[in-house]
Amino acid sequence: MDKYEKLEKVGEGTYGKVYKAMEKASGKLVALKKTRLEMDEEGIPPTALREISLLQMLSHSLYVVRLLCVEHVLQSTDSISPSPAVSPSPKSNLYLVFEYLDTDLKKFIDSHRKGQNPRPLDPSLIQRFMFQLCKGVAHCHSHGVLHRDLKPQNLLLDKDKGILKIADLGLGRAFTVPLKSYTHEIVTLWYRAPEVLLGSTHYSTGVDIWSVGCIFAEMVRRQALFPGDSEFQQLLHIFRLLGTPTEHQWPGVTSLRDWHVYPKWEPQNLARSVPSLSPEGVDLLSQMLKYDPAERISAKSALDHPYFDSLDKSQF
Ligand code: AMP
């Protein structure tokens, strides 16, 4: 890791700390992500290797954070095993080196909500960000990859250029999504699709579209649409706004593993939750938040939705 000069910690992800660093040879800024890789005698788990090559492949999209390289650092055994009684097993770390972006969507929304100058996000910027988000998600889905943990924290932004890129991709599988992060911070449920909350094991691309819908609404509102603090509360937040789902709307819902009997709420008017959003925007949002995952709009079709008609798409 001598090639890099660590500058400062820029974030804490689910899997570990993220540092801003400079590549000494080029002066380029990078983000260093240390993964806590459990190594066994066999070396790097093949699942992790597969995941990393997938990441590398997907990061060829402009809307996915570019993985520049992977550094495998083996710590010498004497420095970590002071007691001779403990059998020395070499500790290893994988560092993922990504291109550096100056902020993420969570920090960006926060800066518009709090502080000196609270103000809405510019509607045309929301439209730009949504288009790039759908492009990135469509790219992943076309390669058969689900993100499964899309949230504002892992959408990175180049504020000056108005560019949005998806981060934290794919790590979900080799490193399995935990309930608590490594610092015991609760993993957010706010963007989790109802089929996942209800214990479905055969979920698909619709889980990412649900998250994209929640993120869309949050950019407009500057606050989360469904801020649940437990899986149960998360479902209630969703049901109170969209109505308690029925077999008619979502065939099979009452047979899902964690389905219970819930209060029967009627659907509310979605437009009222996103008052400043155009009717086309509300229509796109409603198609992203369909209960039946099979009815949810795909990322690819979303790109052709009338909400994006006023966008100059040639620049993307
Ligand atoms: P993640 O584990 O990807 O969710 O990262 C946690 C936080 O670290 C993010 O919310 C960002 O603030 C920051 N971060 C991650 N990757 C980068 C990057 N490539 N450039 C700048 N900041 C990053």
Stretch 100-121: mean pLDDT:
95
pLDDT digits (tens, 9 = 90+) for 283-292: 999 999 999 9
Determine whether the shortest distance from the Cβ of 13 to ligand 1 is under 6 A: yes
Stretch 180-188: mean pLDDT:
62
Q: Which residue has the tokens 């001779």?
A: 84
* Percent share of the chain, pLDDT over 70: 87
Alpha carbon 197 to chain centroid, angstroms: 16
Q: Specify if 225 maps to a domain.
A: yes
Last-in-domain residue among 99, 127, 159? 99
For residues 135 and 246, membership in a common domain is answered with yes
Q: Which residue's CA lies nearest to atom 6 of ligand 1? A: 13
Q: How confident is the model at residue 208 (pLDDT cuts 50, 70, 90)?
A: very high
Last-in-domain residue among 84, 99, 114? 99
Q: How confident is the model at residue 268 (pLDDT cuts 50, 70, 90)?
A: very high
For residues 304 and 205, membership in a common domain is answered with yes
Q: Specify if 166 maps to a domain.
A: no
Task: Please tell me the least confidently modeled range out of 36-45, 47-56, 80-89, 212-221.
Answer: 80-89
Q: Which residue has the higher pLDDT, 50 or 305?
A: 305
For residues 50 and 86, membership in a common domain is answered with yes
Q: Specify if 159 maps to a domain.
A: no
For residues 197 and 311, membership in a common domain is answered with yes
Query: What is the Cα–Cα distance from 105 to 219, expressed in whole angstroms?
Result: 9
Q: Which residue's CA lies nearest to atom 13 of ligand 1? A: 11
Cα 278 to ligand 1 centre (Å): 31
Q: Specify if 62 maps to a domain.
A: yes
For residues 60 and 112, membership in a common domain is answered with no
Q: Specify if 171 maps to a domain.
A: no
Q: Which atom of ligand 1 approaches the CA of 18 most closely? A: 8
For residues 213 and 85, membership in a common domain is answered with no
Supply the CATH number for residue 198's domain.
1.10.510.10
Determine whether the shortest distance from the Cβ of 188 to ligand 1 is under 6 A: no
Query: What is the Cα–Cα distance from 308 to 316, expressed in whole angstroms?
Result: 12
For residues 107 and 199, membership in a common domain is answered with yes
Query: What is the Cα–Cα distance from 281 to 124, expressed in whole angstroms?
Result: 11
pLDDT digits (tens, 9 = 90+) for 46-78: 777 877 888 888 989 999 999 999 988 877 655
Determine whether the shortest distance from the Cβ of 101 to ligand 1 is under 6 A: yes
Determine whether the shortest distance from the Cβ of 131 to ligand 1 is under 6 A: no
Supply the CATH number for residue 11's domain.
3.30.200.20
Q: Specify if 257 maps to a domain.
A: yes
Instruction: Report how far apart, in Å, the C-alpha atoms of 205 and of each of 51, 84, 104, 297 are.
Output: 18, 50, 23, 10
Q: What are residue 5's phi and psi, to 5 degrees?
A: -110, 115
| Domains identified in the chain, total number | 2
Q: Specify if 132 maps to a domain.
A: yes
Active-site positions read: 149
Q: Which residue's CA lies nearest to atom 17 of ligand 1? A: 31
Query: What is the Cα–Cα distance from 104 to 183, expressed in whole angstroms?
Result: 20
pLDDT above 70: residue 267:
yes
Evaluate whether 185 touches 173 at the Cβ level (below 8 Å).
Answer: no
Determine whether the shortest distance from the Cβ of 31 to ligand 1 is under 6 A: yes
- 127 backbone φψ class: left, alpha, beta (φ>0; ψ -120 to 50): alpha
For residues 137 and 71, membership in a common domain is answered with no
Tell me which residue range forms the domain holding 141. Answer: 103-151+188-315
Last-in-domain residue among 56, 74, 99? 99
Name the amino acid, one letter, at 155. L
Q: Specify if 215 maps to a domain.
A: yes
The pTM for the full model equals 0.90
For residues 19 and 37, membership in a common domain is answered with yes
**Could you tell me which of 226, 227, 223, 214 has the C-alpha nearest to residue 151?**
214
For residues 143 and 82, membership in a common domain is answered with no
For residues 19 and 133, membership in a common domain is answered with no
Q: 42-56: buried (b, 16+ CB within 10 Å) or exposed (e) per residue?
A: eebeeebeebbebbb
Evaluate whether 262 touches 235 at the Cβ level (below 8 Å).
Answer: yes
Cα 154 to ligand 1 centre (Å): 6
For residues 134 and 58, membership in a common domain is answered with no
Query: What is the Cα–Cα distance from 249 to 270, expressed in whole angstroms?
Result: 17
